[in-house]
Structure 1
Amino acid sequence: MSRISTVDLIQLTHDIKAWGRALGFQQVGISDINLQQHEDALRQWLNNGYHGEMDYMQKHGMKRARPEELVPGTVRVISVRMDYLPPDASFAHHLKDSHIAYISRYALGRDYHKVLRKRLKQLGEKITLELSDTEFRPFVDSAPVLEHAIAEKAGLGWTGKHSLTLSREAGSWFFLGELFINLPLPVDEPVAEGCGSCTACMTMCPTGAIVAPYQVDARKCISYLTIEYDGIIPEHLRPLMGNRIYGCDDCQLVCPWNRYAALTEETDFHPRQTLHGQSLLTLFQWDESTFLSNTEGSPIRRIGYDKWRRNIAIALGNARADTIILKVLQQCLPDASPLLKPHVNWAIEQQQTKLMDSSEPASRKTARLTRVIEKGLPRDA
């Protein structure tokens, strides 16, 4: 007889949640593996081409909504939350100053994939010590997993109109991870949706990427453009990117629920000073070895040096008029790669135009965003 049938699964579930909190997860929930209700929306999203050039989304198809096809034998998913809002996030200051590089706050510290996956593996091993028949597999953005749908079903929060998971206690400044497991543990109940009629995230998205409630067109999303997309960024989107060189936090910044977010207790997620609040020019002038050194252990490293400079070149074009910026751009042009060159040429044109017109207007949307986040940020953020 399997030992699973003789174990008090209710007590084991309580223990798993306690072990998870001890490992640094702020919340642990459990869901079954029936995600059928999400298949139509996933299929429509793919059919609309909203995944852009993320071919792996299309390749795996409905497996994303069928955990048992990904890991045979899975009967439950343990969903975990780990908060990442760093101290001294300096949102308003960095977005307001067009000469400072804005990096999505989740990426300023250590690569969250490594942090969460290690802890999830430790949680799985802890369960196995208690019950040797346990089989598990951890995931952190590493496979076709509908992590937000799972988190919602596990009671960690609800899916907001920006498609991120929202919690009444923590807003959305957190990472999610999953432990697929073969134990028929008691499941948690979903929580009530809390967005109501609010559309702040949709209104304030710089590029209008949230095309309908719960639908994001990745092809317009700054996070996709600066991280996932390998090509020439369309000219009409470049001015809307501002100084955001890796990711974008705007839809989270304006969300009222993020007023309640707590600062992270994980020092791994605290900002690296080589990245946080640095000038665009400083980062643009890194050579490749400096880039690799300063992004070691960071999620930023995976985009590579060429895309890093591509993103910064666009931000330099969006920066307020500066003769030094123009000079640096012109000096780098002869040796620019095929990917970098068109973006540098565009940035040079933008700077030349601004230098001829000293009455450059501030972005109305950026100014409004600054006012909103200064009013609603958590204390010390």
Structure 2
Amino acid sequence: MSSTIPLQQFDPQQLKAWIKAEALALGFADCVIAKPASQAKEMPRFLDYLEKGYHADMDYLTENLDKRENPELLVPGTKSIICVRMNYLVDSPKPRHIPYVPNSAIIARYARGRDYHKVMRGRLKTLAQKIREHVGEFESRPFADSAPIFEKAIHESAGMGWTGKHTLLIQKKSGSFFVLGELFTSLDLPEDTATTAHCGSCSACIDICPTQAIVKPYVLNARRCIAYLTIEYKGIIAEEFRAAIGNRIFGCDDCQLICPWNSFAKITPIEDFHPRHGLDQLSLLELWQWDETTFLRCTEGSPIRRTGFQSFKRNIAIGLGNAPFSAEIMDALENGKSLHDEIVNVHIDWAITQQLQRKFN
């Protein structure tokens, strides 16, 4: 460990520049500095969002509203928030989404490798330790989509990007295929300034959404969102959404794939984000054959664990129902009915009906 220099002897601008260089060396694609009071203006918009029920059954969003409005209540003594992002694409996406490849299983790109929450928190802890070795003791706490904060607003306030009409953060030179993390610190660092928005009159993400979940620019109704329905929601998915879900079994990238700014999306240098267990090329039928033991083994350290085995099979059943007719699919669905819970069986019955309609039409 190198000898430390008392914190008060550091020039704040120089320390900020040093921290940013260390963050980039750890594989973060960018690093900016925000202040904890920078997103208080978000509360009225958020309360309106909750009042409209757009949060669906994610009731945890209604909790700790005081901490959302004032992050210093979450981590007392916070003076600066070190904001970072990591790119997660492993290859360049097509400029437009591919509507359907028969019997393929589509998993959102961020979820094909290791759980980014684990990767992000681990590297933020490493960054905190490097800073500590450099300047001495200070208070810090890392977050990666794991705290009641206005995460995007914090990053946006410091120039990480702007919130697009699909509600995701967009960076002018990198698109939106990245994940965010924060290190709350007691360090008093100069904050960075916000950038300007560049969506203009474009409505591509709104127009392409299969379930019309983007009800207006910058407002997403989670009750209609394929990402919410296939990941967070554990119940019976309404029939009105099943055909639109297509073969997406975990999440949805359509609003990002259509975004012109993602022509600038960068490839990740982080090995952890590369697909595991062939999750970028498995068929629906191959995944349908997984038992719970296989699911748990192949999703160890993966965000896919979040949905749970039965909901995962529910999603695959919908995909099989949307596939072209196949006797093999029919047999697989029929044989699966005794293996799953009532919720999955509702979707199996629907899928069988859809298959039969294709056979005779």
Q: Which position in structure 2 is the counterpart of 1:247?
A: 251
The structure 1 residue matched to 2:302, chosen from 269, 275, 298, is: 298
Give the Cα–Cα distance (whole angstroms) in 2 for the partners of residues 91 and 295 of structure 1.
29
The amino acid across from 1:198 in the alignment is: C
Tell me if the contact between 2:277 and 2:298 (Cα under 8 Å) persists in the aligned partners.
no
Write out aligned runs for 1:128-277 (5 A): 128-277=132-281
Tell me if the contact between 1:94 and 1:100 (Cα under 8 Å) persists in the aligned partners.
no
Tell me the SS of whatever aligns to 1:339: helix
Tell me the SS of whatever aligns to 2:269: coil
Q: Which position in structure 2 is the counterpart of 1:21?
A: 24
List runs of 5+ in structure 2 lacking aligned partners.
Answer: 1-5
- Mean Cα displacement is larger for which, 217-226 or 80-89? 80-89
**Pairwise CA distance, 1:65:** 3.3
Tell me if the contact between 1:25 and 1:82 (Cα under 8 Å) persists in the aligned partners.
yes
List runs of 5+ in structure 1 lacking aligned partners.
Answer: 358-381
The amino acid across from 1:107 in the alignment is: A
Distance 1:90 1:258, change over 3 A: closer
Distance 1:332 1:91, change over 3 A: farther
Give the Cα–Cα distance (whole angstroms) in 2 for the partners of residues 75 and 180 of structure 1.
8
The amino acid across from 1:155 in the alignment is: G
Offset from partner CA, 1:21-65 (integer Å, 9 cap, x none)? 000001000011121211111111111111111111012224223
**Pairwise CA distance, 1:95:** 4.5
**Pairwise CA distance, 1:130:** 2.2
Give the Cα–Cα distance (whole angstroms) in 2 for the partners of residues 95 and 237 of structure 1.
15
Tell me if the contact between 1:154 and 1:188 (Cα under 8 Å) persists in the aligned partners.
yes
Offset from partner CA, 1:219-251 (integer Å, 9 cap, x none)? 110000011111111111111100000000000
**Pairwise CA distance, 1:321:** 1.4
Write out aligned runs for 1:350-361 (5 A): 350-357=354-361
Distance 1:90 1:348, change over 3 A: farther
Tell me the SS of whatever aligns to 1:96: coil
**Pairwise CA distance, 1:93:** 8.7
The amino acid across from 2:22 in the alignment is: W
The amino acid across from 2:147 in the alignment is: A
2:83 counterpart of 1:79: yes
Identical counterparts, % of pairs: 49
Tell me if the contact between 2:204 and 2:259 (Cα under 8 Å) persists in the aligned partners.
yes
Tell me if the contact between 1:43 and 1:62 (Cα under 8 Å) persists in the aligned partners.
no
Distance 1:95 1:296, change over 3 A: farther
Two-structure CA RMSD over aligned residues (Å): 1.7
Tell me if the contact between 2:96 and 2:257 (Cα under 8 Å) persists in the aligned partners.
no
The amino acid across from 1:22 in the alignment is: A
Q: Which position in structure 1 is the counterpart of 2:119?
A: 115
TM-score normalised by L of structure 1: 0.90
Give the Cα–Cα distance (whole angstroms) in 2 for the partners of residues 86 and 126 of structure 1.
28
**Pairwise CA distance, 1:331:** 1.4
Write out aligned runs for 1:3-22 (5 A): 3-22=6-25
Tell me if the contact between 1:75 and 1:182 (Cα under 8 Å) persists in the aligned partners.
yes
Structure 1 stretches (4+) deviating beyond 6 angstroms? 90-94
Give the Cα–Cα distance (whole angstroms) in 2 for the partners of residues 102 and 40 of structure 1.
36
Give the Cα–Cα distance (whole angstroms) in 2 for the partners of residues 282 and 92 of structure 1.
26
- Mean Cα displacement is larger for which, 197-206 or 57-66? 57-66
Tell me the SS of whatever aligns to 1:175: strand
Tell me the SS of whatever aligns to 1:290: helix
Q: Which position in structure 1 is the counterpart of 2:311?
A: 307
TM-score normalised by L of structure 2: 0.95
Give the Cα–Cα distance (whole angstroms) in 1 for the partners of residues 81 and 96 of structure 2.
37
Distance 1:95 1:107, change over 3 A: farther
Tell me if the contact between 2:97 and 2:254 (Cα under 8 Å) persists in the aligned partners.
no
Q: Which position in structure 1 is the counterpart of 2:46?
A: 42
The structure 2 residue matched to 1:55, chosen from 38, 50, 59, is: 59
The amino acid across from 2:23 in the alignment is: G
Offset from partner CA, 1:253-273 (integer Å, 9 cap, x none)? 000000011111111111124
Tell me the SS of whatever aligns to 2:54: coil
